Structure 1
Amino acid sequence: MATSTKSLTFSLGGQLEINRLGYGAMQLTGTGVFGEVADRENAKKVLQAAVAGGVNFIDTAEAYGPKLNESLIADALYPYKDDLVIATKGGFNRPGPNQWVPNGDPAFIRENIEGSLKRLKVDTIDLWQLHRFDPNVPVEETLAPVVEAVNAGKIRYVGLSEVDIKQIEQAEKVLPIVSVQNLYNLGNRQWEEIVDYTAKRGLAFIPWFPLASGPEALADKISRIAAKYNATTAQIALAWLLKRADNILLIPGTSSVKHLEENLAAADIELTDEEFEQISK
């Protein structure tokens, strides 16, 4: 398995310098990623602590809440620091908690984009990602309003989520793609091929659910290495991802300032090649 020479930054689109340990805001919502977060003041403190701790990449989506997560980010962080990159997504209907229905209708996508601009209080979305391909709508039609928004200066860069190589190449016939956000972590490596494909092409790979529990067989291996670094198993799992490929941008989410600080400290852990291989088995 390929590994990287560790760099703690990545140039998104060749222009935006991103600290590779970012923050995913999805947990700052109600149960089932639906409704308002239970403790809004705490949620604001977590976002502010993330930026204070060096995070300059925050991932959100129109579907988180829906809409409420984007507004929360603006409430907590606006006016934004100059180097802060906020990525959002569109293309999901949310009829209720834990319900996610792809909607690639161009009118809906256009509404998502305009709404995100208003809620985030920005003139340009740094990175807009298509949350899912809608099997009922040709992606060329879905992306048409995205192309319009890029041409109008409302979107700088475009990414995709939960896609295979064929879908990436299909989207690239419509407009340039700079990032892919797929499920990937130490315990679930079904998108291994996409990690290597994006790394080879200089696209960002943004694993969602980066801290999912791995197979029980990994527990002993991680705990032994964690003890060496005086680290938690979660920190070792994040350090493994940072070493896996230098195009990986991490967005672990949490509603706890303490856990946030622990996650950010994973950037200081440099696994050896031997440790990486041991954990990877």
Structure 2
Amino acid sequence: MRQFDVFVFDEPGEDFDRWAPPFTDPALGWFHTNRWNGDLEKLEAEWIVFAHPSIKIDRDFLNELAIETDSFPMVDAFAPRVKARDHFFGGLAVDGSRGFSPIGEEEELRYVAAPIPLIGVFSRRIIQRTGLFDLTLPKEFRLMDYSLRMAHAGGKMFSVPYLVAHANENDLGEATGTSNDLFKVIDGEFLKAESSVHPLWNVLYTTLPVSNLMKFTACHPTTVLDFFKTRELKIKRDKATALSKLTEKHLRDISAKRKSR
């Protein structure tokens, strides 16, 4: 079994066929595709790295990842920090009426709800329990939704300050297919965009307690009508939470504002 498979999710375009892996190794598999679910069955490694082409996956990153996966055997997924424009950006935390917010740059070791949308690392065993990506969501929200469904399947995502991937600075102003450029996706500003409100509501509805959904709805009145369009979302919610292993304690651990124990 390979140690790592790197799944590079890209968009069709002039440069799509020109892409090539930065290096090769017998213990490493590369998959460059725009088919999020179509190639999941080909992933055979113990750990899977999902990354946007703007994120550099090099030997230093994978060597550090190997150290972290050995150091934290109880962890099923990692949210790498991304260095961009001289700052470090980590994962996302559940945050009341905001839905989600980025963790602080100075955060220590901690569990998070999701990685930033451009890179996440999952064990093959938790992928097998979690299933496929929800392709009805915009791409920026797929890893978020997947990570929370993983939590219901019993998985935990860890943020380690020294597990750092670097963004390609030349790519940070390019569009991602929405009104947000890549840097806004990295630093979490995309979460505040009007275009993000309804996808966030959908993620909250299908993966988190009603109390979280109601806080978000109260601050975003345009989502009230979404309650009348939840037939398919209810099916997804029931499937994700039927045998949920997400505890109240872990929900506090992945939240931005933790209650005192």
TM-score by length of 2: 0.23
Higher strand share: 2
TM-score by length of 1: 0.21
